[in-house]
Amino acid sequence: MTANRRQSPHTSRREPVVLILSHDAVAAALLGGLVETLGYDVHFARPPESAEESLRRVRPRICLVDCTDAVSCRAEFFGRATMRGVCVVIFGTREALDRLRALALAHNIETLLMPPEVNDLEEKLQRAGEA
């Protein structure tokens, strides 16, 4: 479905598309299942596809990025995602997020502590979808 068709007043309102980028397939699947229960359309990267290729294929509104994924969790990727109108949220453990706090602040990126609380996840996804 094209972006123009999604915005048409003749189609029903759909929740934003969420892309999850993580090298940990189990963590990505668990997070994806939780995101789906909140009504979002969830997609994942397809190995050996790069993060950039995933963005072009999926065209998400929101991208959840595992902060331990050195390929995706970089300033260059965040800049390109932002230029495409994608809102990035970084997720990970407290220790991993603490190491990237300055990068997240520099790029105005939300962080999500894992495992997430449903209310916190829903709030961050709503904010990201409205940004």
Q: Does domain 15-130 match CATH 3.40.50.720? A: no
Could you tell me how far CA 18 lies from the centroid of its own chain? 6
pLDDT at 18: 97
What's residue 117's pLDDT?
94
Which helix (DSSP H) or strand (DSSP E) does residue 5 occupy?
Answer: helix 3-6
CA proximity to 87, closest of 111, 113, 68? 111
| pLDDT the model gives residue 31 | 97
Domain ranges of the chain: 15-130
Q: Residues, the chain, total? A: 131
Please name the residues in contact with 51: beta carbons below 8 A apart, sequence gap of 6 or more: 21, 45, 65, 71, 72, 77
Quick one: pLDDT at residue 70?
A: 84
Residues of the chain with pLDDT under 70: 1-14
Q: Cis link prior to 9 (omega < 30° from 0)?
A: no
